[in-house]
Amino acid sequence: MMRLTAEPLTSAAFLPHGEVLEAPAIPGRTYFEDALANRRPAARPSLSLVVKQPLATLPLRSRVMERHLFSSQSFIPQEAGRWLVIVAPHLAQGTGPDMARARCFLARGDEGVTYGADVWHHPFTVLDRTARFAVMMWKDGSAQDDEFVDVPEFEVALS
């Protein structure tokens, strides 16, 4: 079984997959216009609020990844502890995520992320406590809004 070790979430490390969303350190506003990718003119913005229970036991074991071919997807914590951000590039040959090159990031409760359009990622997983997030993406109501695939089993260790 493949094992991923969670690394700290940084803008530079996450850049190939999207953007890290952090509030400014001083009073003011930070814009993330590139974070809201929509590749379908008929798609509408979709904003949802999610309450997620923490993972019951570690390590996380999973066999699923997802992507949104035509839309970015942003996760903005409203109240959260640490949470996992797992991404994988596309396979060089064929379809699906390249789990041999997958990465796992450990996000703080005050950090959000935007997965770029067509970026393979794991459904978000919270660790320390029940968490609330706002989720933004674009949808047109078709089956192409979300794609989930089975992958070889992997596990995540925190260190």
Average pLDDT over the chain, rounded to an integer: 95
Strand partners, 71: 38
- Mean pLDDT confidence for 123-134: 96
- Mean pLDDT confidence for 128-154: 96
| Burial class, 14, CB count within 10 angstroms (exposed 0-12 / middle 13-18 / buried 19+) | buried
Q: Is a pLDDT exceeding 90 seen at residue 95?
A: no
Question: Mind listing the domains of the chain with CATH numbers?
Answer: 2-157 (2.60.120.480)
Query: Each residue of 11-69: pLDDT tens digit?
Result: 999 999 999 999 888 999 998 877 789 999 999 999 999 999 999 999 999 999 999 99
Q: pLDDT tier at 107 (50, 70, 90 boundaries)?
A: very high
Strand partners, 62: 154
- Mean pLDDT confidence for 123-133: 96
Query: Each residue of 76-88: pLDDT tens digit?
Result: 999 999 999 999 9
pLDDT at 25: 87
**Residue 142: how many other CB atoms lie within 10 Å:** 11
